[in-house]
Structure 1
Amino acid sequence: MSVEATGPAAPSFESRVHGSLLGGALGDSLGYAVEFDSVAAIRARFGADGLTSFGQLDDGPHFSDDTQMTLYTVDGLVEALEWANDGVAADEIACLWLAYLRWLATQDVAVSSAAPTPQPRWIDAQDVLRHRRAPGNACLSGLASGAMGTVARPVNPDSKGCGTVMRSAPFGLVPHIPREAVYKLSSDAASLTHGHPSARLSAAAFGLLIHNIVGGSDVRSAAIEALGYVNAVPTKAPELPERLEAALRLSEASNPLGPEELTTALGEGWIAEEALAVGLYAVLATSGSEPADHFRNAIAVAINHSGDSDSTGSIAGNILGAYYGDACLPVEWLEALDAPEAAVVRGMADRLLAVTTG
């Protein structure tokens, strides 16, 4: 079975939203357990196949800043849509900036007095989000500066860390908007913390990938279309198409890449285009007799390498959840996820659905 050749009956939009957000949280949580470990250390700890299930962990799983920021992305979009539903025009990027500033407050980071003071929302009262789990330096410093980064006035102009990509799946989960809007939202939101073109375009490519999948495309076609779109915009980041084209090509090979070959070919995932390429490769190079088997197999490839395992695991989980819906999420993995953490993911999914579908 191949994800691009044979697909399931189309899941509902509601199932795709829950699947993508929960799938990302599961991939993030498993990957976070080995985020800073070399593949040699992972094998020494978990055996030749590496970490493949939550049952191998001594402590309960927890998601990292990747899922935290993804949920705050959802909240920024929800606030903008709430205003729109009330007939009031809102600046979507300003809403996202305020949401990210509220996330920053959960990390106990001092913020410049130049920054506005956002009004609290439901998500801010969820204690399970108030943990510091290896947040990206550019996300912290860009927000703490108090400046609202834009393409014209970038913060961290040379940074292309994966902190833009790992939080951008929700842009593809907003229905009834054109791909031009998905591109602009995800690219401009990336500029709030990262100024390098590859950081912005990688986030846009990921948002468009999810958008295309939700619209009914298979994963490979969705990726090709997203890549074609970002290649056509005036801003260029040649490293992004190089990595994504390699991921697409290598995923068709009869012999899958081992962890060492994976990072040599696509990178370790610490920077934006590498994280997206590794997550995409993991999805396209694996399969399963059932959607949950494909999910397990893909996450195993996405996290068992010497690199940013939680981000690459999160991206792979977002993709598969958007494609299959929540039917692909292994029941035993959902049961292993910390109950309050799972509840806040579901809560934010429901809030997004409430303002988009009623």
Structure 2
Amino acid sequence: MNDAQHPGESGFPSTGTPSSSGVAGPIDFPSRVRGCLLGGALGDQLGYPVTASSLEGIRIRFGAEGLRSLDQLPGGARISGTTQLALYTLDALIEALEWANSGTAADETACLWLSYLRWYAGLEGGFPETAPHPLPRWIDEQQLLHERRSPSAACLAALATGEMGSRARPLNTAAEGAESVARSAAFGLLPHVAAEFTARLAVHGAALTHGHPVAHHGAAAFSGMIRLLAHGDASPARAAAAVLADMESDPEASRLAGRLRAALRLGESGQVPLEELRDALGAGLAADEALAVALYAVLAGSDPDPQEHFRSTLALAINVDGDSSAIGSMAGSLLGAFYGEAALPPAWLASAEGTEEVTGMAALFLAQTA
């Protein structure tokens, strides 16, 4: 066991606790877990090469239709820090589940912070001077997850302080970037927990590095959608509408609620010109804008065939002016949680980076939730 783990009040049940929601439909839960995680990684890899580019710049590089497939990437597909942090988020939940399944409660937010510190140490060569030094875990042995792949400056700055950010004591009060949302899919995959617990975990996880409320609300909304897709047999539109309905009574979430409302409206109308998308949803850099663009892409890219739906959605998601890596990751995670592995194009998986690391982490998570 990691010496940084410590008892505390937990919302995790033991492995034997029966699910109150179950997994409806013919798609089994393990497939949804792998689909969500791999879908997020594929979306990240498609968006990563153009995440700092304008749509005009993307079209100059890849032609009038933009970047649409991993096989268009001359240097091959590569994960970014978005996937690295998504997997470190998952590892923190695995660690907390290990405690719960052994009969001991753990502080889940502390597990998240210690996991992010291990990610930081892998990139920077050591822990911040005033931070604890948790023992390594399986994920820390995966060299790919320690390569420097455009890590979030806000995340690095917050972790470098050696302090544990929270809503009460925020770090980076102006930080509202989409990376705080994209790493939060794993919260929604947790079985046997209430929606309120999922949202609380996501908020606390985002607050570790991002102090702006829109980052907190975005993480909660995204993980809530994943939860409804993976456990509630909801369609993407119904999942988004349900999350939006819960947000309507919270004045602090009004900015995100407005973006999601617009995304639902635009997505149900089909594909719209980029200028209209920018006006309604923003540039796709902040947490609320990026989540709204990802949701729009999922709805507007609809196709009866899951793999075609995935391809068209990812093309819409990453050919924008915003954070294409984070937007692509969110869109891919949503469809992977909805369809399971059936959404993932085999040719994309064959050319993708990090599939062994992702499926390895999925297996560890599923072993604790079986």
- Normalising by structure 1, what TM-score? 0.94
Q: Distance in 1 between matches of 2:199 and 2:240?
A: 14
1:228 is displaced (CA, Å) by 2.1
Q: Which amino acid aligns with 2:195?
A: R
Is the Cα contact below 8 Å between 1:161 and 1:272 reproduced in 2?
A: yes
1:9 is displaced (CA, Å) by 5.4
Q: Distance in 1 between matches of 2:185 and 2:26?
A: 19
Is structure 2 residue 121 aligned with structure 1 residue 105?
Answer: yes
CA deviations on 1:114-169 (whole Å, 9 max, x unpaired) are: 21111100000001111112121111111111111111111112221112101000
Q: Of the candidates 163, 168, 173, which is equivalent to residue 189 of structure 2?
A: 173
- Determine helix, strand or coil for the equivalent of 2:253: coil
Is structure 2 residue 363 aligned with structure 1 residue 355?
Answer: no
Is structure 2 residue 163 aligned with structure 1 residue 158?
Answer: no
Q: Distance in 2 between matches of 1:55 and 1:169?
A: 26
Is structure 2 residue 124 aligned with structure 1 residue 85?
Answer: no
Name the residue aligned to 1:311: 326
Name the residue aligned to 1:138: 154
Name the residue aligned to 2:64: 48
Is structure 2 residue 217 aligned with structure 1 residue 201?
Answer: yes
Is the Cα contact below 8 Å between 2:127 and 2:133 reproduced in 1?
A: no
Q: Which amino acid aligns with 1:277?
A: A
CA deviations on 1:278-311 (whole Å, 9 max, x unpaired) are: 1110001112231000000000000011121111
CA deviations on 1:173-199 (whole Å, 9 max, x unpaired) are: 011101010011001111101111111
Q: Distance in 2 between matches of 1:133 and 1:71?
A: 14
Is the Cα contact below 8 Å between 2:290 and 2:322 reproduced in 1?
A: no
1:260 is displaced (CA, Å) by 3.6
* Percent of matched pairs sharing the same residue: 51
Name the residue aligned to 1:27: 43
Is the Cα contact below 8 Å between 1:75 and 1:99 reproduced in 2?
A: yes
Is the Cα contact below 8 Å between 1:111 and 1:145 reproduced in 2?
A: no
Is the Cα contact below 8 Å between 1:109 and 1:144 reproduced in 2?
A: no
Name the residue aligned to 2:356: 343
Name the residue aligned to 1:119: 135
Is the Cα contact below 8 Å between 2:247 and 2:253 reproduced in 1?
A: no
Q: Which amino acid aligns with 1:217?
A: A
Equivalent pairs, count: 346
Is the Cα contact below 8 Å between 2:47 and 2:318 reproduced in 1?
A: yes
- Determine helix, strand or coil for the equivalent of 1:161: coil
CA deviations on 1:290-340 (whole Å, 9 max, x unpaired) are: 1000000000000011121111000000000000000010000000112xx
Name the residue aligned to 2:339: 324
Unaligned runs of 5+ in 1: 1-7
- Determine helix, strand or coil for the equivalent of 1:164: helix
Name the residue aligned to 1:220: 237
CA deviations on 1:37-93 (whole Å, 9 max, x unpaired) are: 111111111111111111111111011111100000000000000000000110000
Runs of 4+ in 1 over 6 A off after TM superposition: none
Name the residue aligned to 1:3: none
- Normalising by structure 2, what TM-score? 0.91
Q: Of the candidates 293, 299, 315, which is equivalent to residue 284 of structure 1?
A: 299
Q: Distance in 1 between matches of 2:26 and 2:246?
A: 24
Name the residue aligned to 1:241: 257
1:111 is displaced (CA, Å) by 4.5
Is the Cα contact below 8 Å between 2:118 and 2:127 reproduced in 1?
A: no
Name the residue aligned to 1:192: 208
Unaligned runs of 5+ in 2: 1-23
Q: Distance in 1 between matches of 2:97 and 2:126?
A: 29
Q: Distance in 1 between matches of 2:304 and 2:257?
A: 31
- Determine helix, strand or coil for the equivalent of 2:95: helix
Is the Cα contact below 8 Å between 1:109 and 1:140 reproduced in 2?
A: no
Is the Cα contact below 8 Å between 1:110 and 1:144 reproduced in 2?
A: no
Name the residue aligned to 2:309: 294
Name the residue aligned to 1:4: none
